[in-house]
Amino acid sequence: MRKVLLGAAAAFALTAGTAAAQGISGDVVKIGVMSDMSSLYADVGGPGSVAAAELAVKDFGGTVAGKRIEIVQADHQNKPDVGSSIVRQWIDSEGVDAVADVPTSSVALAVQQVLKDKGKVFLMSGPASSDLTGKACSPTGVHWTYDTYALAHGTGSALVKQGGDTWYFLTADYAFGHALERDTGDVVKAAGGKVLGAVRHPLNTADFSSFLLQAQASKAKVIGLANAGGDTINSIKQAAEFGIVAGGQRLAGLLVFITDVHSLGLKTANGLVITEAFYWDQNDETRAFAKKFEAVMKKKPSMVQAGVYGAVMHYLKAIDAIKTDDGKAVVDQMKKMPINDFMTKNGKVREDGRVMRDMYLFEVKKPEESKGPWDYYKQLAVIPAEEAFRPLKEGGCPFVKG
Amino acid sequence: MTNGTAKLGTWAGAALLAVAIVLPFVVYPVFVMKALCFALFACAFNLLIGYVGLLSFGHAAYFGIGSYVTAYTVKAWALPPELGILLGTAVAALLGVVFGWLAIRRSGIYFAMVTLALAQMVYFYALQSPWTGGEDGIQAVPRGHLLGIFDLNEPLVMYFFVLGIFLLGFFIIHRTIHSPFGNVLKAIRENEPRAISLGYKTDQYKLLAFVLSAALSGLAGSTKSLVFQLASLTDVYWTMSGEVVLMTLVGGLGTVFGPVVGAFIVITMENYLARYGSWVTVIQGIVFVLCVLAFRRGVVGEIIAFVQRRTVRAPGAATPAHAPGE
């Protein structure tokens, strides 16, 4: 009897202890959306990401576990120091519980470090680097939408299957470009294709003519663009001028978003092959989301913005399930629950924080195939999650037990 | 320097020091630390443009290399923070010797362009070489323990460490400007041929000022890399060189406190306007236009000019107000 009583008392003390540690801190769930609001990623994420997070909160009902949900926003101006100081301030003096989006890998890596130290949740949609769930992984970080590995591998393997078995790379001459070229090249070779060669161009090149002529002369079926941002835009534009796609070669963009296609126009971008996690015109659910989004932002959502919506929604559901906003506990709960929303079917958050979801290979339509604005893609293939993302063991995430 | 401005300077210095000690208890410490690092950077830059009249458009190179070297040595070699900072400063000074030796042979716009070109070389080096981590930079730099005793992970300990470094740098600059060496520099700024005709080897003076400025910029960068625990391409990119020019201009070119005030203004805008999204750039633009149109001497420059007008008028003397020299 005494033992039972003692046990009961101990159990009571234990639950009382955890109950005190749990609950919603500050009686509000605060989500900070940090993005590039005014520069090169402002279209992909930016104000649209804030709108997506607000939509998610609205659709969730505005409260979670009886407490208010609040969204704050900031512009990191693509500077890691600005990003990391804003996040520190958010957590230390404003009681922010989670940070969402954060495009630009260097900023995301800095923010990941801060959030890891502080035990707060990081819902990444914008950043690309696969290191965020590899060497630089965090128990409270969730990488939601895509990563460089998925884009490179998805595009590489899917195109080889479609007959694009000889490749030539146009590579930005720095670590990011080299990694993209190496990753994609490996996949192409593994899938039975051949890499005929590569040409390196300096960062922020204006004139791609000599590089493109080399690529054209290689007679490779696919020209892989292992570059990003303005370099990709310039190389696609100039490739159109040289008639590379019209001449039968295919251009594969390894880091291109629908907003890039929108600004290039179909006349220039047609024939480009791209891997993305989401396209607004895939099915009724994605169209319904796009309609809601368009009512606010007056344009179609990108995959990054759609990802912010999905990640915030899943985060709120996890809080609702365990009635606490403690960072580690919420992320553990997020990892337990399957993800089913308009863009992800039977997805899950893997141990290292990587969200496993199918990716899609798209080709940009010809101008005559398009029925109107934003009608840009036709789907070529579905890339299953297991093929798209890096296997858990190869990531080198320190807290994942091999 | 007139009596009025000298007195003003002492008072302002004492007041600023008091503010600096109280500030971390009122405002967010990391923000103040960042502002102090940039204030030191701007002061180092000001030493060159304000007192020697050399517009360097490549100071990001020294700031950035200091930040990279410290971040790398502290993280990869596990050096204590004070050694890491010394090493960062030393490498920046060394770079200053090489670049300065090349650049001071030209003046005016050519000098600015040479420094910019050399700085861009450093940028591309940082982008390419493996130890700098390319576009991801060096992340998760440990702050460590100062002299093995003080835990720099405590925000307030870190703050006073940074404040100490800033005051040291500021003191060095202050002593330099008010020494005979500083007077020769000012003579070179006003009239170089005359300084040469008086027998001064102006090239040596210019080079020494350049190296000093580069070393202090490196010191600022090194400290910043410990504050934020990262070094990234932002630190070496040419926009950083532009930012430091703006800080100095807004605060007041060629004034002792101007760059400090300018740095606080620019960093405050960068930090507190961040929540207004794309308005940051617009507001910054308006502030700079206003500054250039309405108070061209910068905030501190205008204050000094105002005090000088008052003190000149008071005894009824008819000597015209000087341009803000010191």
Q: Which domain holds residue B249?
A: 28-284
Name the more confident of A105 and B38: B38
Question: What pLDDT was estimated at residue A79?
Answer: 84
Does residue B115 sit within a domain? Answer: yes
Percent with pLDDT over 70 in chain B: 92
Per residue of chain A (402 residues), what is the pLDDT tens digit?
A: 455 555 554 444 444 434 334 678 888 999 999 998 877 788 888 899 999 999 999 999 989 988 999 999 998 888 888 888 889 889 988 899 999 999 888 889 899 999 998 999 999 998 888 889 988 899 999 999 999 889 888 888 888 988 888 999 999 887 778 888 888 998 899 888 999 999 998 877 889 999 999 999 999 999 999 888 788 888 999 998 888 888 889 999 888 899 889 989 998 898 889 999 999 999 999 999 999 999 999 999 999 999 999 999 999 999 999 999 899 999 999 999 999 999 998 999 999 999 999 999 999 999 999 988 899 999 998 999 988 899 998 888 888 875
Instruction: Give the DSSP per-residue string, A167-187.
Output: EEEEEESSHHHHHHHHHHHHH
What chain B residue is nearest to A108 in terms of C-alpha separation?
B136
Min distance A135 CA to chain B CA atoms (Å):
11
Question: What pLDDT was estimated at residue B319?
Answer: 46
pLDDT band with cut points at 50, 70 and 90 for residue B4: low
Name the more confident of A64 and B3: A64
Of A75, A113, A203, the CB nearest to B280: A75
Report the number of distinct structural domains present in chain B.
1
Question: What pLDDT was estimated at residue B326?
Answer: 43
Complex ipTM value:
0.71
* Signed CA dihedral, A97, A103, A106, A107: sign only: negative
Look up the pTM and report it: 0.80
Does residue B227 sit within a domain? Answer: yes
Q: Please report residues of A whose CB lies closer than 8 A to that of B32.
A: none
Give Dmax (Cα) for chain A: 88
Does residue B234 sit within a domain? Answer: yes
**Residues B278 and A37: beta-carbon distance below 8 Å:** yes
A181 interfaces chain B, CB cutoff of 8 Å: no
Question: What pLDDT was estimated at residue A18?
Answer: 42
Question: What pLDDT was estimated at residue B314?
Answer: 62
Query: CB–CB of A75 and B128 under 8 A?
Result: no
Domains detected in chain A: 27-146+284-349 (3.40.50.2300), 155-276+359-381 (3.40.50.2300)
Does residue B62 sit within a domain? Answer: yes
Compute the mean pLDDT over every residue in chain B, rounded to the nearest whole number: 86
User: What b/e readout covers A386-398, taking b as 16+ CB neighbours within 10 angstroms?
Assistant: eebbbeeeebebe
Min distance B57 CA to chain A CA atoms (Å):
20
Which of A31, A73, A81, A201 to probe the B interface (max B CBs under 10 A)?
A81
Question: Exposed, middle or buried, B318 (CB in 10 Å: 0-12/13-18/19+)?
Answer: exposed
Does residue B3 sit within a domain? Answer: no
Does residue B303 sit within a domain? Answer: no
Q: Please report residues of A whose CB lies closer than 8 A to that of B36.
A: none
Q: Please report residues of B whose CB lies closer than 8 A to that of A46.
A: 277-278
Query: CB–CB of B135 and A176 under 8 A?
Result: yes
Question: What pLDDT was estimated at residue B307?
Answer: 83
Return the CATH number at B185.
Answer: 1.10.3470
Q: Please report residues of A whose CB lies closer than 8 A to that of B25.
A: none
Reported as a single tens digit per residue, the pLDDT across B270-288 is 777 766 656 777 887 888 8
> Can you state the percent helix, strand and coil of chain B, rounding each to 5?
75, 0, 20
Least confident interval from A154-158, A190-194, B9-13, B96-100: B9-13
Query: CB–CB of A75 and B276 under 8 A?
Result: yes
Does residue B223 sit within a domain? Answer: yes
> Chain B neighbours among A 25-44 (CB < 8 Å)?
37-38, 42
Query: CB–CB of A80 and B30 under 8 A?
Result: no
Nearest by Cα to A264 from A275, A276, A256, A273: A256
Question: What pLDDT was estimated at residue B271?
Answer: 77
Q: Is the pLDDT of residue B185 over 50?
A: yes
Min distance B158 CA to chain A CA atoms (Å):
15
Of B34, B134, B229, the CB nearest to A175: B134
Query: CB–CB of A129 and B137 under 8 A?
Result: no
> Chain B neighbours among A 340-379 (CB < 8 Å)?
none
